[in-house]
Structure 1
């Protein structure tokens, strides 16, 4: 990545010297500074939130896992709403900056819950005669307000900033390099949080750890704001999402009309600079792909005034470009749905792994214990390492052998395989752990590392692959929404994981509050089965997909 960054940087500097004042690599450090601070804060809070809820708010383990899944789901669903607002109304910078301020407020309130005793219940005692009191209504309210603000803030800023950062570059290879470094910074900063910050929270106090998270959020917000004068801000073109709805409505209103074979019978609206680009497009409306929606751009007698000019009715007549935008979205949706259950096992595994770590031997030597929330850092470390290996070794090697770069869907497919392998290893390790636990022997937490390494390798393939795929294949008017699609499916996956865990608890005895008396290994085997079925579905979807804009 270093060679790519240096060569790309020199080209962008030449561009700047020739007179361009916005965009390019000069804006790069500000985005990296923002994502570094926000990733450290988010991981330092959410990564250890289960332990905080159990130890400080006296919430039972499975319930705490459910709450964290909802938090993670919300954090990953908010980006879609933020992206739609950014694309349609306020722009990426305004939405990202406003979200940053909300995140800062949320981290400050959470910090206060760790420092003010009246905002949390009294800690539980080892004395069984003392009742462990749950939080009061006010304590729950303050806690949930901080969690909601954190979910909205971090969710609304991360992927909106990613889209804004990619928009600073014109060449796809520069955009790809930006995404690689963006996610590399994300994983490294999150890894630092899940080791250093989580260790401070568990050993030196939650106030210190959450205080660092609040400071990191503040620094990230300031750095992002300082780079504003270097950013290239795209012009807003109205509600692109609303345009998709107009195409659907116009198609339904004209469902009885016969399609024409002449390009002249379709509306192009060449009056604006944006629509001049439409004339350069091939007459795709005459093709067989989703022909029903071609009617939205078909000019009928009802669309003409008495003098032969076209009536201005956006809910009855749409441009070719708007029709093609909707077709692209529909073509991508099957692949997007296949990725939901790619993320669901990872969401379930992240919660169960922390619960497993709590009942395992976490000692390293005689004086150090691994914090349970820090176990997940193995995913981040392995992802960071393999992102570098993929970028510097595997992708160039593939290009030398085949003469071309691997397509994003191929990278995503490899991620599917590693995800299923991780669930297999998780099931085998948990089965062994339960056998030892029944003999009152604690298994070392190091046995959890192989399954987490496999998840990390998989993420190094499918995470950047999915963001690149959506960014390249989505219409240009939905660039912020494109980068939020991966976040949205992760959010759905966390909500789905919460529903699955709840259903498993209702239907089986696999997940009691004390997992030593349960069958967590059966949960993992269930995920293996679902993951295998989902992989076959993904192969079918990718086989029928045709790339655009490549």
Structure 2
């Protein structure tokens, strides 16, 4: 993807142009924001994330035990809900890019609270769930009625909508409190540490209460955490920077496509005066970058910025926004298009993780979860090993690996390199999961055969699952923050909320794809029966490891071809290319 050499354009910004861009640059002029907002934003995120992880992490067990759902079906429902909770942040971010983060986060927090309250009612009101069944998940258990499923689905939908409007939007809102890429990257590192700690608490404290005290009490903790998150977030409103946008950034991008199509027969020009730079003859973004003509990549779109008679008014402002766009608008759309191949590589990074999450819970239900004579780890809590591994790894990477890398290599680890390391560890994690499951199946078969003295072999300890889950956590500590950093830096400034939601979107696609993959495997093979002791879950993990290797090759190709456009060093724009991965 070659680009034209930058041509420096020197001009004076008109006061009208500055005022027109004030909505999108207000964050730079504001005296609010900065590190004083970090404890407030982090605390509110902790509360909201604890509430969300508390009900999601134990959903498979809740469906099996309280709604008499079969194990694989419960896994499919879990993957669907997980995909829903990670797809909705896109809608939340689109709304936030138009209305601002603060109102979206506030409204969404109250919606999630309503959803968790309804979930608690399904656990505490007997008429809202089917009768208890001794043989959980079997065909003899009475299924839930249509009304009971309706209430359950509405509660999960509301809670998921709430997550959609808060999870990625809070991350972007926090990043908007800072002026430099270094501060933003440091914030994202610590944000993710706190985020995974909150997920870990939901996977342990809430799940333990669910299993040992009662589902109603577990959901009550989620309600309290949600209320805490809302209260803290609203209490800090006077400290925040509030970036507002006059026009939806997606409308601006759509205008480029429409204008390029309408001018598709016009010949392109190499003269800067033939392109519209902005009101007053100059575009702020491109005066800073040094570009005065569109880049050569995706040349078809350049026609959207070609000036024609009647496109502008007497004062040189745009008269027909669906026929004429600024060069900056054109380049914003190109930036989104360029990064989509890289984004697509992470879909098959998220799919194995989604499949592993559901299958691991089913596996540990068949294993010995005891730790000592008096303690048993809840099945839904095992994912905490991934979360804590991620949080610890992020800390170690930030404090030790990065400084060591800079000392040895003479430069910082790039986002693309960080994501690549995450791909590698995910493949290793899938292979390790396959080996652990193979061992578990061997123990199960030994139990069936028994020994000569008719004694039964002890079930395999579920603690063996810690190894693959921890490896996956190490991979996540590289690729998730790396993707957030990459998208936040490379997306147009007007699409910052959408940039962080891109990570949530690929996780969502991964979860939905994992549901499709599991369904396909069930139809084509005998690897995933209702009783996994009679199946071959290990083959599923080996298949995912193989797909990961192929996807890693695809990623390396995309990363090698990608050129950084907006990476900032010390708060300045740098139009450089660093394709080493």
Q: TM-score range by the shorter chain?
A: over 0.9
Whether the aligned pair in 2 keeps the contact of 1:49 and 1:68 (CA below 8 Å) is yes
Q: Secondary structure at the match of 2:346?
A: helix
- From 113, 138, 150, the equivalent of 1:141 is 150
| Offset, 1:130 | 10
Residue matched to 1:23:
33
- From 41, 44, 48, the equivalent of 1:38 is 48
- From 205, 215, 218, the equivalent of 1:206 is 215
Aligned counterparts, 1:107-146, within 5 A: 107-126=116-135, 131-146=140-155
Aligned counterparts, 1:229-308, within 5 A: 229-271=238-280, 275-283=283-291, 285-301=293-309, 303=311
Which digits, 9 at most, give the CA deviation of each residue in 1:263-301, with x for residues without a partner?
11101222499x433433333644321111111101134
Counting matched residue pairs gives: 529
Residue matched to 1:223:
232
- From 543, 557, 561, the equivalent of 1:526 is 543
Residue matched to 1:59:
69
Residue matched to 2:26:
none
Over 3 Å counting, the alpha-carbon distance change for 1:302 and 1:271 in structure 2 is closer
CA distance in 2, matches of 1:127, 1:37: 32
Q: Which stretch has the larger CA shift, 125-134 or 24-33?
A: 125-134
CA distance in 1, matches of 2:311, 2:254: 18
Q: Secondary structure at the match of 1:547?
A: coil
Q: TM-score with structure 2 length normalisation?
A: 0.88
Residue matched to 1:69:
79
Residue matched to 1:11:
none
Whether the aligned pair in 1 keeps the contact of 2:58 and 2:380 (CA below 8 Å) is yes
Residue matched to 1:49:
59
Residue matched to 2:573:
none
Q: TM-score with structure 1 length normalisation?
A: 0.93
What runs of 5+ residues in structure 2 fail to find an aligned partner?
1-28, 448-456, 568-581
Whether the aligned pair in 2 keeps the contact of 1:263 and 1:283 (CA below 8 Å) is no
- From 150, 163, 185, the equivalent of 2:159 is 150
- From 498, 502, 525, the equivalent of 2:519 is 502
Whether the aligned pair in 1 keeps the contact of 2:30 and 2:241 (CA below 8 Å) is no
Whether the aligned pair in 2 keeps the contact of 1:348 and 1:497 (CA below 8 Å) is yes
- From 335, 347, 350, the equivalent of 2:354 is 347
Alignment partner of 1:537 is 2:554: yes
Aligned counterparts, 1:151-550, within 5 A: 151-271=160-280, 275-283=283-291, 285-301=293-309, 303=311, 312-440=319-447, 441=457, 442-550=459-567
CA distance in 1, matches of 2:213, 2:176: 42
Whether the aligned pair in 1 keeps the contact of 2:279 and 2:316 (CA below 8 Å) is no
CA distance in 1, matches of 2:345, 2:487: 14
CA distance in 1, matches of 2:127, 2:321: 57
Q: Secondary structure at the match of 2:382?
A: helix
Whether the aligned pair in 1 keeps the contact of 2:279 and 2:318 (CA below 8 Å) is no
CA distance in 1, matches of 2:148, 2:494: 44
Q: Secondary structure at the match of 1:369?
A: coil
| Offset, 1:131 | 3.8
CA distance in 2, matches of 1:402, 1:129: 58
Residue matched to 1:9:
none
